[in-house]
Each structure stands twice: as C-alpha cells, then as structure tokens.
C-alpha cells in the first residue's frame, strides 16, 4: 500500500514540475535607484499606432480589453488611474512574432491502478523531423516619468495565438498577459 502511494506522489510531483517548466515569465527591466514608492497616480496612454498588422490582435476590441485589464490590475494594486497630473504614465504595445518548434525526443512515465494491482510504464519518443511554425502575441508595457517621459520600467511577455479564439478566450489571455507583465511592477 505504501509503495502505491509513493508512486502516485512521485507521478503527481513529476507532472507538477513539468507544468511549471512550461510556464512563461515576464521579461522586466527598470531604472535602478528610482524611488517607485513615489508613484501613486498613473495615466494610461493607449498606443498611438498598432504594433502589428495581424488582425487577430490589431483590433479596437483587443485594445479595449488590454486597457481594461491594465486599469483593473493597477486599481487592485492601490494605484489611482487618472487622466491628467499623474506621477507616471503607462503605455503598452502588442505585436506578433513567429517562431519554429521542432519535434524533440522525450521520456514519458505513466502510472495506473486496477483494483489491487498497479503498474508503471516508461516510454521514449524518438526525435522526428516535423517542424511547426507558430505565432505569438507579445505585450510590452512601459512606465515613464510624467515630467519628462524618462523610461522607468518595462515589462513584456508573450502567449501563442490560436485559431478559433472566442471573446472569452481572448479576454482570458489578455488578463493572463497583463497580470504576468505587471506582477513585478513596481519592483521591490
């Protein structure tokens, strides 16, 4: 009985590690030495021009979702979003980039039980010659000093674009991207 529970625990732990390895993290850079605690009010500035011609993300509907998600995030973090006389301004841009992905080799482990019996299986996948192309949306958010537009902070992250997206899935993806990018603002 103990061996069965141990194997289940190892299987769940292994899957958790693999899922964490697949998670993306934001790229962040900021002006060292700047006192970010002095920022209490932020003016959100929509992008002046689209960062892409890809109609899947170059849309007023997507822009509205991004602006709303950023505003909601800032409000939950205690910032005041204002139209004028702000301590800082925040701009954003969304773009697409293409990538290639090859079929790698890999090892998989399976575990199963039936009644009082249990089994573990191990499989190895040989590398193939398939290469897939994909597109990603990249959200970049900039925070500038209101007085002179000096860049104080920049964060970016990306998500794969999928065909057949719905308004609900687009909203979910936008909120995930915004939360991921702004998780490290202000820097601690």
C-alpha to C-alpha distances, 75 to 45, 71, 144, nearest whole angstrom? 16, 6, 18
**What dihedral angle (degrees, nearest 10) is formed by the CA atoms of 34, 40, 46, 49?**
-10
Give the pair of three-digit tokens for residue 106. 């890999």
Phi/psi at 159 (5° precision): -145, 145
pTM of the model: 0.70
Average pLDDT over residues 149-162: 90
- pLDDT at residue 151, as a whole number: 96
DSSP helix/strand/coil, 21: helix
- Tens of pLDDT, residues 19-47: 333 445 889 999 999 999 999 999 999 77
**78 vs 186: CA distance, rounded Å:** 11
DSSP 8-state class, residue 85: S
What is the rounded distance in angstroms from the CA atom of residue 173 to the CA atom of residue 138? Answer: 11
SS3 of 79, please?
coil
Fold of 26-182: Rossmann fold (3.40.50)
Which residue has tokens 């573990």?
A: 120
Q: How confident is the model at residue 18 (pLDDT cuts 50, 70, 90)?
A: very low
pLDDT of 160 reads 83
pLDDT 10s digits, 64-93: 999 999 999 999 999 999 999 999 999 998
Query: For residue 126, what pLDDT is reported?
Result: 64
7, HSE (Cβ side, Cα atoms, 13 Å) = 14
CB 31 within 8 A of CB 159: no
Q: How confident is the model at residue 51 (pLDDT cuts 50, 70, 90)?
A: low
Structural domain boundaries in the chain:
26-182
Residue 130 is predicted with a pLDDT of 67
Calculate the average pLDDT of the chain: 80
């Amino acid at each position: 009985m103990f061996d069965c529970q141990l194997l289940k625990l190892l299987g769940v732990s292994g899957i958790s590690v693999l899922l964490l390895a697949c998670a993306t993290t934001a790229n962040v850079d900021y002006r060292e030495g700047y006192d970010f605690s002095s920022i209490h009010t932020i003016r959100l500035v929509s992008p002046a021009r689209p960062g892409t011609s890809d109609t899947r993300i170059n849309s007023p509907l997507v822009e509205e979702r991004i602006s709303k998600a950023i505003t909601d995030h800032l409000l939950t973090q205690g910032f005041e979003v204002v139209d004028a006389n702000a301590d800082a301004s925040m701009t954003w841009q969304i773009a697409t980039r293409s990538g290639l992905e090859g079929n790698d080799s890999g090892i998989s482990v399976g575990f199963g039980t039936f009644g009082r019996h249990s089994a573990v299986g191990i499989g190895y996948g040989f590398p193939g010659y398939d290469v897939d192309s994909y597109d990603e949306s990249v959200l970049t958010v900039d925070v500038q000093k209101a007085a002179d537009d000096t860049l104080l902070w920049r964060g970016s992250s990306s998500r794969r674009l999928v065909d057949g997206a719905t308004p609900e899935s687009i909203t979910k993806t936008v909120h995930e991207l915004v939360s991921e990018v702004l998780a490290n603002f202000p820097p601690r």
